[in-house]
Amino acid sequence: MTTIHEVAQAAGVSISTVSYALSGKRPVSEKTRRRIEDAAESLGYQPDAGARMLAGRRTHIFALTEPLRADTHAPTHMAFVLATAVAARRRGYDILLLTDEQASDGMNRVAASRLVDAILVLDVAPDDERAEIARSVRTPTIFIGVPRDASGLTCVDLDFEGAGHLAVDRLADAGHRRVTLLGQTEVAYRKSNFPRRLLRGVQTRASERSLKLDWVTTGASETDRAAVRAAAESALDAGHRAFIVHAVGDAHEALLQTIDSRGLRVGRDVSVVSAAASFDTGTLTTPVDTIPLSPQASCELAVDLALEHLDDRTAAPRIHLIPPEYLDAGSVAPPPPSR
């Protein structure tokens, strides 16, 4: 590993002059500074993170706090981790992943050490303890998600309420007067804020459009197909023919299999909309209309906002909601005539 002493020798200056030139702590002539930078580049010299922090320079590291709990649905959460890492790397940044189940511990640690330039927050809870930390530290912090109290915070996320509105509108416009929402797990509604926001959007729009809404959770675990099948069978027995699904891929497949077992066809006899889907619905056995979650869009914007707040420490906190997009696959049709 190249040392600062070797850079000083190559540039023909003292070690202190190298330190001043690279840190900007004291003025160095332009000619000398360029000679030192050329020497450092040719030798592959990189000041360690501690030195860069003491010098007030950027570390080019973002912390990403993503607590991994027993109930975490790994594929969804890892999609956001990967999207964030890709967006950061494209802008010359590395990611320090904090997976402490007690999320506040890791966040406090990196903020106190000044190891990172900014903090990105995933898996945002309704009453997230990291919100208060973000308000108290100098490190720019961006939430990918919106807690219940977002005052003083910069947040970016899909407009989940708008996604709920859009799903209901499509079904109502097709003529449906009753819709069943197959939602997330019971645990998800307690620990995460995005399921509540989509549910609120569906409930609000269903009331505005005079639709009867039935809402069921998808059981105690993310892969509990039996709960989905039971809910779908109950709805179909009652003559309901419109479903909004806000759940993982297994729940979608369980619904589609139940519909098929009744001799019914999606897009003709039954309407299905996948709302805020975090996976590729193109892999389903039957194509369904989809409002995608799109981790890439949220994470790209979050990284841009982190850089914006680094460049301008006076930038005002605000909430950025990404408008939902509707992908039509032909799975919504008018309800069959009443018998």
In the chain the domains, ranked by start, together with CATH numbers, are 4-54 (1.10.260.40), 61-156+296-318 (3.40.50.2300), 160-292 (3.40.50.2300)
CB atoms within 10 A of CB 334: 12
pLDDT attached to residue 6: 85
pLDDT attached to residue 274: 98
Rounded average pLDDT over 274-282: 91
CB 139 within 8 A of CB 313: no
pLDDT attached to residue 256: 96
Model confidence pLDDT, tens digit, residues 79-121:
999 999 999 999 999 999 998 767 788 898 888 877 899 999 9
Its sign, for the CA torsion 140, 304, 189, 222, is negative
Model confidence pLDDT, tens digit, residues 67-82:
876 666 677 888 999 9
Model confidence pLDDT, tens digit, residues 125-173:
899 999 999 999 889 999 999 999 999 999 999 999 999 999 999 999 9
Q: Which strands form 178-182's sheet, in the order they lie side by side?
A: 212-216, 178-182, 242-245, 271-277, 289-292
User: Per-residue confidence at 47, pLDDT binned at 50, 70, 90?
Assistant: low
Model confidence pLDDT, tens digit, residues 295-321:
999 999 999 999 999 888 788 999 999
Its sign, for the CA torsion 87, 88, 94, 97, is negative
Instruction: Report whether pLDDT(55) > 50.
Output: no
119: closest CA among 144, 92, 82, 87?
144
Model confidence pLDDT, tens digit, residues 205-243:
999 999 999 999 886 554 478 888 988 999 999 999 999
pLDDT attached to residue 54: 45
pLDDT above 70 coverage of the chain, percent = 90
Instruction: Report whether pLDDT(322) > 50.
Output: yes
Question: What pTM does this model have?
Answer: 0.79
pLDDT attached to residue 69: 66
List phi, psi (to 5°) of 86. -65, -45
What is the Cα–Cα distance from 95 to 61, expressed in whole angstroms? 6
pLDDT attached to residue 263: 96
